[in-house]
Amino acid sequence: MNRWRSLPSDPGPVVVPVSRSPAWQPLDGNARRLRLAFGLGWPLAMAATPWWLGQGGLGLGCGFRALTGMPCPLCGGTHACAALVQGDWAAAWAANPGAVLLLVWLVLLAGQAVVEGTLGHRRTVRWPWWHPAVLVAVGGGLLLPWLLRLAGLA
């Protein structure tokens, strides 16, 4: 019995694999340090917001409100951040629901920065929180409560 089969004279089209770009690309030293600085600095900045508010915000206020007399989309964001740090999600949501969405998104970015900075590689495939639907949800989450506040409905 013959274990070898003969190949047909015309095997058909030849499929050549196309090289795909790697899922991770190396980072140079500066990009790596910047990612680590953001990824570790952002949670530290969030943790400092209760102290910041206790100091009276050190005299800094909302520039948009100073110029226009109206609240900006982020008004209440510092209070929302302080409430999140203290674990009070209800107070954070009451301060500014859009800011809560933005802060959660920024925490995801900080985590991404820590992973990429620690590994020394940048992910070439988009992270899930960079999906256009997520960006629209975060942007809409900031704008809708602001517009409702301006209209006097919230």
132 domain-assigned = yes
pLDDT at position 16: 52
37 domain-assigned = yes
pTM attached to this predicted model: 0.76
64 domain-assigned = no
22 domain-assigned = no
17 domain-assigned = no
Query: Taking a C-beta distance cutoff of 8 angstroms, is the pair 154, 145 a contact?
Result: yes
pLDDT at position 64: 84
Low-confidence ranges of the chain (pLDDT < 50): none
Buried b (16+ CB within 10 A) or exposed e, 32-46: beebbebbeebeeeb
- H or E stretch including 26? strand 24-26
pLDDT at position 147: 93
Query: Taking a C-beta distance cutoff of 8 angstroms, is the pair 71, 146 a contact?
Result: yes
62 domain-assigned = no
pLDDT at position 15: 57
Beta carbons within 8 Å of 93's beta carbon, 6+ residues apart: 80, 100
pLDDT at position 49: 87
106 domain-assigned = yes
35 domain-assigned = yes
- What domain count does the chain have? 1
The pLDDT tens digits for 12-21 are 565 555 556 6
Query: Where in the sequence is the domain holding 133, given as residue range(s)?
Result: 28-55+77-150
How far from chain centre, in Å, is Cα 94?
A: 22
